[in-house]
Amino acid sequence: MTKIGLLGDTHGNGRWTVYALSVFQTYGIERIVQLGDFGISNTQSGHLFLKKVRLGLKNYKQTMYVIPGNHEDYDYIESIPVGEDGWQALRAGIKLAPRGLRWSWGDTSFVALGGAPSVDRQYRLNAQRGGNKMWWDQESITRADVDNVVAGGYADVMLTHDAPNCAQINGRIKGNPMGFEQADLHYASEGRALMEEAFRGVAPKALFHGHYHFVVNDTSVVHRDSKDQMASIVGLNCDGFNGSMATYDTETREVTFIDISQHKP
């Protein structure tokens, strides 16, 4: 099996996520990488979401590999032990990738670096006054995370939630159309700068990310094997929108976005 599924932010949307599993099943996809803001929450609704996804995966004989985002319950994530294979077992068939995890599927090597700064941090801090925690300071990658990933060297594919600075996202967020706090904009910018360092240090053939809720299909020059080479940077949309599902062929390195209008919800 050379093709894997790629799934953008799902935000705890159980109906959408199970629908996505059914679409991937029509393409014969058994391994699905979810690129963050999955919807991990130690609440009744959060556990119900995980139950729906677990049952869907069981029904379609699939496994989901989650690269945690920023809108996740990191206190809950940290309570889940890391297994001998390096993954955290969130549920049967649902595995979480700790930051810096490396593995191979066939001849393709992967490295995960989940997490991102929430550009709406102030809103989430204010909302916590209602009793429900909505922001976790563990969400953003750290200098130690970057150093660890860079020290591990090259991987064919880098799986993240945030995008590096070189990705073509700035045109969509220029001018602060959502009116976020300046301090939070700076916080988010620092996170992209750290991701840029990690990306340059790994110098993968491809990087896949979520987070921005629009499609990114870009290339960037990286220095690998003593020469400049091209790396693909692909960002996926979020639940309910086209561009939120794609397949990646690890042999041909071809990315194919799935047109959801061709599949019944």
pLDDT (tens, 9 = 90+) of the chain, 265 residues, equals 689 999 999 999 999 999 999 999 999 999 999 999 999 999 999 999 999 999 999 999 999 999 999 999 999 999 999 999 999 999 999 999 999 999 999 999 999 999 999 999 999 998 887 678 999 999 999 999 999 999 999 999 999 999 999 998 876 677 787 889 999 999 999 999 999 999 999 999 999 999 999 999 999 999 999 999 999 999 999 999 999 999 999 999 999 999 998 887 7
User: CA–CA distance from 162 to each of 170, 172, 234, 248 (Å)?
Assistant: 13, 15, 11, 19
Share of the chain above pLDDT 90, in %: 90
Question: How many residues appear in the chain?
Answer: 265
- Give the pLDDT confidence score for residue 238 in this predicted structure: 98
Strand arrangement, sheet containing 88-91:
88-91, 94-96, 63-66, 31-34, 3-7, 245-249, 255-257
The alpha carbon of 75 is separated from its chain's Cα centroid by a whole number of angstroms, namely 18
Domains with residue ranges and CATH for the chain = 3-262 (3.60.21.10)
The alpha carbon of 102 is separated from its chain's Cα centroid by a whole number of angstroms, namely 15
Assess contact for 232 and 206: CB atoms under 8 A: yes
Quickly count: other Cβ atoms within 10 Å of residue 193's Cβ. 12
Which two three-digit tokens encode residue 147?
């150093």
Nearest to 101 by CA among 117, 82, 84, 86: 86
Assess contact for 139 and 73: CB atoms under 8 A: no
Nearest to 144 by CA among 178, 100, 105: 100
Whole-prediction pTM: 0.97
- Give the pLDDT confidence score for residue 60 in this predicted structure: 98
- Give the pLDDT confidence score for residue 29 in this predicted structure: 98
Beta strand 245-249 pairing with 3-7:
antiparallel
DSSP string, 165-227: TTSTTHHHHTT-TT---HHHHHHHHHHHHHHHHHHHHH--SEEEE-SSSS-EEEEEEEEETTE
Span 14-68, pLDDT tens digits = 999 999 999 999 999 999 999 999 999 999 999 999 999 999 999 999 999 999 9
| Bridge partners, residue 218, by sequence | 233
∠ Cα 47 50 51 (to 5°): 85
